[in-house]
Amino acid sequence: MEKLIGKVAFITGGNKGIGLGIAEAMVEAGMFVCITGRNEADVKAAEKKLNAIRDNAALGLVCDVRSLSDQQTAVQQIMDKWKQLDVVIANAGVGHFADISLLTPEQWHDTIDINLTGVFNTVKASLEHLKGSKGYLITIASLAGTNFFAAGAAYNASKFGLVGFTQAVMLDVRKHGIKTTTIMPGSVSTYFNSHTPNDADHWKIQPEDMGQMVIDLLLMPHRTLPSKIEVRPTMPG
């Protein structure tokens, strides 16, 4: 993994779950990471965990992806600290699931604002720096981005939108040497939607599996671009 040593990554929602699993894999590969989240205690705990793997490898910031200025501030702090930005992982997400007759406007806007507009903000804040490094943009979508289900109106809309957004962005930025991939996982053992990971999750994709997938993408030859990846547990639960 010599190719990755010294590279710098920005991971939204990197304080737990998939984001933290990706951050751990990156630190182990010799990269530096900035993780963000909205809960200060969670962010600082994750930062401490990552720096225990490799000293001074991680920076934790309290940020809200719904705010473009928050994203711009985070990117500026990355540049101030490391002088480069090579990889952006737009991972922050939320899920509100309800029959359309019960889905509230607040739940709708929260889902769209975080899962879709939040990614737009992350991309806008980091794009010029990714152009400079000919870097890599990865969005974490979901199989719900192509498979609709009851009580999924808000979540499906956000993830269908995210898949389309990412693929369009891929076509916009590849002329600048930027690679773009959307990863669409199925069931992952995380804290998503108030779930607490437990032994019964053994059949699910694990956060470290997602981390390995991202490392594999970063190590692909530059001429080759897996632009959309569906990933699901080998066996159903």
- The CATH number of the domain where 225 resides is what? 3.40.50.720
Taking the C-alpha atoms of residue 134 and residue 194, their distance in angstroms, rounded to an integer, is: 37
Helix H or strand E encompassing 159: helix 153-173
Residue 236 lies in a domain: no
Please state the pTM of the whole predicted model.
0.96
Residue 237 lies in a domain: no
Spot the catalytic one: 10, 32, 155, 165: 155
Q: Domain range spanning residue 225?
A: 2-231
Per-residue pLDDT of the chain (237 residues; tens, 9 = 90+): 799 999 999 999 999 999 999 999 999 999 999 999 999 999 999 999 999 999 999 999 999 999 999 999 999 999 999 999 999 999 999 999 999 999 999 999 999 999 999 999 999 999 999 999 999 999 999 999 999 999 999 999 999 999 999 999 999 999 999 999 999 999 998 777 667 788 888 899 999 999 999 999 999 999 999 999 999 999 887
The amino acid sitting at 173 is: V
Taking the C-alpha atoms of residue 184 and residue 171, their distance in angstroms, rounded to an integer, is: 18
For position 194, what pLDDT does the model report?
A: 64
Cβ proximity of 110 and 64 under 8 Å: no
For position 193, what pLDDT does the model report?
A: 61
88 forms beta bridges with 10, 137
Residue 86 lies in a domain: yes
Total structural domains in the chain?
1
For position 195, what pLDDT does the model report?
A: 73
Helix H or strand E encompassing 111: helix 105-112
Tell whether the torsion through CA atoms of 203, 208, 212 and 215 is positive or negative.
Answer: positive
Tokens of 70: 């928050």
Residue 221 lies in a domain: yes
Residue 192 lies in a domain: yes
155 counts as catalytic: yes
The amino acid sitting at 161 is: G
Residue 139 lies in a domain: yes
